[in-house]
Structure 1
Amino acid sequence: MINRRLFLRQAGVLATLANSLPLIACSPKASTMNPEEAAYIERLTQRLVPRGFGRYLIDLPESFVVNPVNSSVIEGVTVAVKPMTKVNFDVRFEAYRLKLLQTKLPRSGNPFLRSTIPLPNQTIGGIFDRTEDATSSDRMARTLELWAWKDQYCVTALINAVDTSFPEDAADSIARQLTTNVPEKLDQLLRVYGRVRGRKDDETPADKGDCIANGFVAGPSSDQQAINVSYHLQGAPDIYFDFNHTTTVRERDTLLGRSAKVEQEMQASGTQTVRKGKRELNGLPYEEWLMRGPTPDRVPGNMCVLHGNEAATDPAKPFVELHLFNGFRIPAPERTLEEKAQLKDLEKATLTEAQAVALWDKVVSTLRVRPGAI
């Protein structure tokens, strides 16, 4: 079965291939499109729109929309941005505040929420100083969770901290080894938040910084960024592009350098290579691997992977990872058991293999560094 994490970091695996591999098709050969399939891809890719992720741009068909499941960690702060009216924000903020106020920790009965800190410059929202884990009776592990509304966007940002000042921790041996860092973490949270703004999906910033889902984080490159954004095809349950942009993970080898290990796992799962090799895109080197096989949703499908800067050490050269999934159910917020029971099984992948490869080649060829980003 194709494992969607198959190509992610496999530290310690020795390179077994030569440094230069040709871009070749592997047996069995990739199929070709019939006229009807080719016409569909032509219509799908007739209008491509620039989309930003991290410090890169890529052109996607306009029918691909940003997926609600995404994540962005900037210098230790988890950030999320969503379009939202002020009325909706006010209702959600107050409901969440009341929920935190009413939550008590197990056994001790201590309050889950310690305080709500106002935001600077009279910004609408606040920062919740709360216990990190509602299932623990320990208040020492803290989370500072910021909610703000500005310019028709809701911005949330959170960071974990330590506070050893609670009476119940006075005799705790672990607490005596730790130092309260809430003020420092609060400063860090506000510094990152101050760089965040909302962004329409088709807006391409001209200044230095990183594009995240629905937002932009201004500032220079750093070694503490991890951004994930997905785009799925409207109306299709199983086809999406996934983009990762990180400076927190570096490897000693690269995707193709791990070929022996990857191929061993593929053979065990019945997965085959469609194509693999090195590519140059807009003057920059990358490595790609396209494959076919049974997916977790029990249909034949495809996963296409592109890696860049995997072994680089310069923050200005983030590790860039692109996937196209065909025959994999698109990411979704965690479902209840009832919602899972109502999901219909996939009957087949939305695209044929030839269509998936054609879409991949059309989109990946547009990958480039955003002007002014670095």
Structure 2
Amino acid sequence: MRRALSWLIFSLAVSVVTTCAADSGDQRSELINDRPAPSVSTFCVGRFLIDVPQGSRLSGADYKYDYLQIERPEPKSFEDFHREFNQKEARLKAEKHEKDPSLLRISRTPTADSRVLSFWKFDMSAGLIEVEGYRWIDGTQYVLKARAGTSPPVEGTISREELILGKMEKALSHLRPRLDTEIPAEPGYCFEGGFIASPEWELEEAGIDIDIAGHPDAFVSVWFYPLHMSRHDRPLLERMGGVLQFLGRLATSVRVLRSGNRQVGPYRGQEHLATAPNSGGMRGHSFIWETEGEGTLDTPALKIELTTGHRDKDRNPQKTKLTDEQAMKLWDEVLNSFRVRPTASPEKLLHRDPPAGMPQPAETPQSGVAHPAGSAS
């Protein structure tokens, strides 16, 4: 997902001072001509929303929910879903472990369309246990992964393995498909192609890249993560000031367009907007806004970036079509749109219609039990 910044100076700068830099279009013709902006595409990531020019597309993503890594959903028949899982289970059972009869430790079938298991990855591994959860819904397979330590549990508590297995089963039971264009009304966590319904904020992370429609050289990145997992030693503006000092004479080619404190909705943060030449000698933009958060689940650290002039798929430098003014206008529109997704009351949710275009409940093959796409236990 992460693409290296194409222009050389800021690539060096960001790699030196931040642990979360994104390795990770025709600016809207109306914008270029100073006409009113067209409609937008809204992306749901985690519990947040952000608007970008209509037609922009998700080009990379990474999602973690309650210690679980969410893999990209994959089209699969119900027969293949069970056949492939059973084959994996059989392979794990057949291979011995130095301390256990086999690599397989636990295998469960919570429902007809979900499976969870824990296993040793190698025959001599003893430090970490792999935990995986699978669910099939209407022709799509969803996979969650995690790791559990093997240290003995504190007296009166369950093992880390059982704790992760429990989280896995709970998340799978509350998971449902989601169209990229669907903005759920109930509280929960959005990821590419799916949604986990949950009124409570868990330990949640995500990072996405969105390619800007009509601009092959431009993309927006959105990140949120628990503060304690990526604490910065200094705020953004202090770090960027140190970058310019570090670059010395090279800093003369960097033009800072705007820099200072900026509040986005309820989030107090800082922004730094700069332009510099890329490796092809063409100027690009690196716009960054971030907040350290407040150390709670629902106030995570946040980082939003707009990058222009990055390399194409063949690694060739690209020239951005956006002037500094147009890039800043686009940035302000995108950044100001970032917000927590509003949710409806439980009473209203009981009577709402399913989202347009969502698959309707289908009878699960073999089991004969109906499993609605939006079901949650």
Q: TM-score, normalised by structure 2?
A: 0.68
Deviation string 1:26-81 (CA, Å, 9 cap, x unpaired) is xxxxxxxx9989536859x51212222232222111221112x3111222111234
AA matched with 1:260: G
SS in 2 for 1:356: helix
Structure 1's 50 and 7: CA in aligned 2 closer, same or farther, altered over 3 A? farther
Matches within 5 A, 1:71-90: 71-82=62-73, 84-87=74-77
Q: Which residue of 1 aligns with 2:235?
A: 254
Q: 2: distance between equivalents of 1:189 and 1:346? A: 43
Could you say which structure has the greater relative contact order, defined with CA pairs below 8 angstroms and 6 or more residues apart? Answer: 1
**Farther-moved stretch of structure 1 (98-107 vs 235-244):** 98-107
Q: 2: distance between equivalents of 1:325 and 1:289? A: 12
Asked if the contact 2:56/2:213 (under 8 Å) is kept, the reply is: yes
AA matched with 2:109: L
Deviation string 1:289-330 (CA, Å, 9 cap, x unpaired) is 11112446775311111113x141232212221111112247
Q: Which residue of 2 aligns with 1:360?
A: 331
Q: TM-score, normalised by structure 1?
A: 0.69
SS in 2 for 1:119: strand
AA matched with 1:292: T
Q: Which residue of 1 aligns with 2:182?
A: 203
Structure 1's 279 and 127: CA in aligned 2 closer, same or farther, altered over 3 A? same
Deviation string 1:195-230 (CA, Å, 9 cap, x unpaired) is 333221221122222322332233345462211122
Q: Which residue of 2 aligns with 1:228?
A: 207
Q: Which residue of 1 aligns with 2:340?
A: 369
Asked if the contact 1:113/1:128 (under 8 Å) is kept, the reply is: no
CA RMSD of aligned residues (A): 4.1
Q: 2: distance between equivalents of 1:373 and 1:55? A: 13
Structure 1's 207 and 116: CA in aligned 2 closer, same or farther, altered over 3 A? same
AA matched with 2:334: V
Q: 2: distance between equivalents of 1:292 and 1:128? A: 49
Long gaps (5+) in structure 1: 11-33, 166-178, 331-339
Matches within 5 A, 1:79-228: 79-82=70-73, 84-87=74-77, 91=80, 94=83, 98=87, 114=104, 117-123=107-113, 125-132=114-121, 137-138=124-125, 140-162=127-149, 181-220=160-199, 222=201, 224-228=203-207
Q: 2: distance between equivalents of 1:127 and 1:141? A: 17
Q: What's the CA shift for 1:9?
A: 5.6
AA matched with 1:120: P
Long gaps (5+) in structure 2: 1-8, 21-26, 153-157, 346-377
Q: What's the CA shift for 1:97?
A: 6.4
Which of the residues 17, 29, 32 maps onto 1:39?
32
Identity %: 21
Q: Which residue of 2 aligns with 1:239?
A: 218
Q: What's the CA shift for 1:98?
A: 4.5
Asked if the contact 1:81/1:215 (under 8 Å) is kept, the reply is: no
Q: 1: distance between equivalents of 2:86 and 2:217? A: 37
SS in 2 for 1:2: helix
Q: 2: distance between equivalents of 1:8 and 1:223? A: 25
